[in-house]
Amino acid sequence: MKTKRFIALVMGMTMAVSGLAACGNNGGDSSDNGGSTDAGEGKSEFKTADQIDKESLKGKTITLYTHGGNRVLGEEKKDADGNTYRDESYAYLKHLAEKFEGEYGIHVDLQVNSTEDDIRPLLQTQDPSIDIYTSPNWSIEEWQQYAEPYCTVSEAKELYGDYAETMYNDGTYIYALMPAKTYNNAVVYNEETIKKVGYDSIPTTQAEFEEMCAKLREAGIDPIAMHRIENWPLSTINDFANYVAGSNDAYPSMLKSDTPFSESEPMGKTIKMYTDWKSKGFFEADIYTDFGVAMDSVGNGNAAMMLFGAWVVPQIQGRVPEGGDPASIKFAPAPDFGNGQYVMASAADSYAISKGSDDKEAARLFIEYISEDAQYLADSGYIAMKKGVDPIVPDLYKIIDDAVAAGTCKVLYAYATDDNSMHNEEVLSEAGLLEDVKYVGNLFDVIDVTKEPDWAAYDAQVEKQNKAYVEAREVLGYSWQ
Amino acid sequence: MSNETKLYKTVRYIFLICASIFVFVPLVPLIFMAFKTGAEYSATSVLEPPKNWLNMYNFSYAMRVGHLGKAFLYTAVILTISLAIQVTFTAMVAYILHRFDFMGKTVVKVMFTLTMFIPVVATQTLIFRMMYAVGLINTMWSVIILYSGVGIVGIYVMLNQLDSISREIDEAAMIDGAGYFYTFAKIIFPLMKPACTTMIIINGIGLYNDFYIPNLYLNRDVQTFTVALYKFYGSMSTPFEIVAAAIIIGMIPIMIVFIFLQKYIYNGLAGSVKM
């Protein structure tokens, strides 16, 4: 379940780059939208915020369901005694909704759900009590069933550029607007912790990075907190495989190979690299009972780094104990694994209008309002990207931005969902390797850190997975297109 | 005391100690967690006792932020109404099945028994749509209706109780001019108190702990205790020390009820077994 949640989140943040346009709401029954668009003639079937009659919407209440509880309830923090509390100053979505109500007289009722399954029955019955929701990990069929088309892909491209391609879409319509962009999985670290072993930044080469990890381990600090007790953290390896390959298609490119899990291929090489780090003790020695505890460990200095996306940075900053400096939690590019330094970028945050909503125009107006509030998006850890909106770049991106500006780190835009990526997923599923990120976990778990690493057993598992993958690909009849 | 008796006693105690360990060990980390600070929980083993046993922060935070008071109130209202309906109807059904012979009696019993084999989730899409159609979603009446159904286990508990109530009592009442309903309501039903109490406790605990139905039907303002508890769970992280405190708070009403009504439970179950 958490794998799904994480993939949903990553999709939200991981769908690739650029600007926006007539993405407004048609206000009427979207099922009448058909598949055609007049966008090419400059005439849209969807209303823009300017075209919506705001006076008629005054006094209405719309309901937004989000899995991002921290933006509604506030960031989880620890007080001087170490007790947990919610700091409401971080409840950015709540504050934004209040501001929106002040301006338009439309109340936004914010509800927090833990998973998309919590809201599925309401969407299945087209219950009007849900107007907007965020980030479910759905197939395109489900999006078509539950979400109002937001605008056409071509309209979104006008306003959000190439990033529009990677928003949830069926080739014609966008089903969830993703109004911001972000950098994806990289190195989140505690600067104060790495200083203890003589570093003030993340090394730029793999050898130096591993040397730093070894020094941290020697100093009794967990170099990297992964939270392996759950499966979803392993899926971050997909981005790192792109950094290893120096391209954005390491995952779908598995289709090209008969030996995708061998060290000769980016995915296989990356999984081997992670597993090797495991054998060297670079990951946590203890089991974290919860991802929050894993984040705490970086916040309090028991661990030095996490290999995750920008979204964890504000959460770890909130977990720095009293007296510590939250600004010591930083975000840097992954080291050069042989092909240069890279960082993945994608569209981020997502908002969809429920098909059952009775107030689609008000819902659209609020989503448009979000897309134009650069401060809200920056506070959330994202960068506004709508055409005409001045972006505010959160401080956490500074190191990466500087590296990109200096040309030492290149940006890879997330791979847009296409036949290759979907077919690869189907092949992995057919081979029994998709669920719970087994294509990584089965290999990663071969090595037992309490014993001498058994690399022969690892190689045998590689062979087994390669065979299963090729057989499944043949059964399905897929090949790289 | 013979060697055999000593051996039997020793084995019995060993078994009971082992059983107690199985029951209490999972509770120990829960209790430890509830008194730890968030920072302490993150930094220590779950089997390490808290530094301050008087730290009540998690309990007050859970009550305040989780709106547990409100959740308890809704839970109490839902359970009171649904158990009252359930027990009354179950007793009526059992009384009819026990005291009267009629065509199709076996079929009725079989039908009730068959419902045991249908998983609750299998019918929920259909039932949810029905509840939605009549506008009961997000109202406590949806849950009350679903909880008020008559179950075969309850019927058997009641039937067993009725076996111990002589039919001559019914006949005497009839001779004195009482009708069937009067006889049931004023004479038989009060005599079924142990079975009713057993049902209330056993089903009550089950319903009190149920998460699936209230989470599905009461996703918003009206929340039972289990749904309120679930709200502490985040998509990525959960403050387990707060959850532990909330769980302990949630155990208190059940423990109180159990302590006060345990003699009825044992009587009711003993009655059931006897039959």
Mean pLDDT on A453-471: 96
% residues pLDDT > 90 (chain A): 60
Q: Looking at the structure, do residues B119 and B170 belong to the same domain, yes or no? A: yes
* pLDDT score recorded for residue A102: 97
| Cross-chain Cβ contact B137/A127 below 8 Å | yes
Q: Looking at the structure, do residues B33 and B141 belong to the same domain, yes or no? A: no
Query: Which amino acid is located at B151 in the chain?
Result: G
Residue A386 lies in a domain: yes
User: Mean pLDDT across chain A, nearest whole number?
Assistant: 87
Task: Give the least confident one: A30-44, A201-215, A291-305, A444-458.
Answer: A30-44
Is the pLDDT at A22 greater than 50? The verdict is: no
* pLDDT score recorded for residue A86: 86
Long-range contacts of residues B92-97, Cβ cutoff 8 Å, at least 24 apart: B92/B184, B93/B150, B93/B155, B93/B158, B94/B154, B94/B155, B94/B158, B94/B159, B94/B161, B94/B162, B95/B158, B95/B162, B95/B184, B95/B188, B95/B189, B97/B155, B97/B159
- Identify the CATH number of the domain in which residue A372 sits: 3.40.190.10
Residue A174 lies in a domain: yes
% residues pLDDT > 70 (chain B): 92
Q: Residue A43's pLDDT band (boundaries 50, 70, 90)?
A: low
Is the pLDDT at A289 greater than 90? The verdict is: no
**Token duo for residue B67:** 């709106």
* pLDDT score recorded for residue B257: 83
| DSSP string of A200-266, one letter each residue | SS--SBHHHHHHHHHHHHHTT-EEE---TTSSGGGGGHHHHHHHHHTSS-TTGGGGG-S-TTSTTSH
- Identify the CATH number of the domain in which residue B70 sits: 1.10.3720.10
Residue A45 lies in a domain: yes
* pLDDT score recorded for residue B267: 65
Q: Looking at the structure, do residues B222 and B115 belong to the same domain, yes or no? A: yes
> In Å, how far is B70's CA from the nearest CA of chain A?
17
* pLDDT score recorded for residue B262: 73
| Cross-chain Cβ contact A84/B231 below 8 Å | no
Specify the number of domains making up chain B.
Answer: 2
Residue A5's nearest CA partner among A63, A69, A62, A75 is A69
* pLDDT score recorded for residue A129: 85
| Cross-chain Cβ contact A129/B129 below 8 Å | no
Is the pLDDT at B70 greater than 70? The verdict is: yes
* Identity of the highest mean pLDDT range in A173-177, A230-234, A313-317: A173-177
pLDDT tens-place string over residues B164-205: 899 999 899 989 888 989 999 999 999 998 889 888 888 898
Query: Which residues of B sit within 8 Å Cβ distance of A?
Result: 37-43, 46, 55, 57-58, 61, 65, 125, 128-129, 132, 137-138, 215-216, 219-220, 230-231, 233-242
Q: Looking at the structure, do residues B48 and B178 belong to the same domain, yes or no? A: no
B37, B46, B132 member nearest A83 (Cβ)? B37
Q: Residue A46's pLDDT band (boundaries 50, 70, 90)?
A: confident
* pLDDT score recorded for residue A465: 97
Is the pLDDT at B120 greater than 50? The verdict is: yes
Is the pLDDT at B46 greater than 90? The verdict is: no
> In Å, how far is B231's CA from the nearest CA of chain A?
8
Residue A101 lies in a domain: yes
| Cross-chain Cβ contact B57/A81 below 8 Å | yes
* pLDDT score recorded for residue A244: 97
| Cross-chain Cβ contact B65/A302 below 8 Å | no
For residue A352, the surrounding DSSP H or E stretch is strand A352-353
Residue A192 lies in a domain: no
| Domain span holding position A80 | 2-183+347-401
* pLDDT score recorded for residue A477: 95
* pLDDT score recorded for residue A204: 95
Residue A339 lies in a domain: no
pLDDT tens-place string over residues B199-223: 888 889 899 999 989 988 886 678 8
* pLDDT score recorded for residue A184: 87
Residues of A whose CB is below 8 A from B40? 82
Q: Looking at the structure, do residues B38 and B147 belong to the same domain, yes or no? A: no
Residue A387 lies in a domain: yes
* pLDDT score recorded for residue B138: 84
Is the pLDDT at B271 greater than 70? The verdict is: no
* pLDDT score recorded for residue A317: 87
Residue A411 lies in a domain: no
pLDDT tens-place string over residues A109-122: 998 887 777 888 88
Q: Looking at the structure, do residues B245 and B196 belong to the same domain, yes or no? A: yes
Angle at B242 between CA B240 and CA B248, to 5 degrees: 100
> In Å, how far is B22's CA from the nearest CA of chain A?
21
Specify the number of domains making up chain A.
Answer: 1
Q: Looking at the structure, do residues B48 and B166 belong to the same domain, yes or no? A: no
Is the pLDDT at A47 greater than 70? The verdict is: yes
Q: Does A83 touch chain B (CB under 8 A)?
A: yes
Mean pLDDT on A284-289: 81
pLDDT tens-place string over residues B133-167: 898 888 899 999 999 988 888 898 899 889 989 99
| Domain span holding position B202 | 64-274
Q: Looking at the structure, do residues B39 and B98 belong to the same domain, yes or no? A: no
Q: Looking at the structure, do residues B121 and B4 belong to the same domain, yes or no? A: no
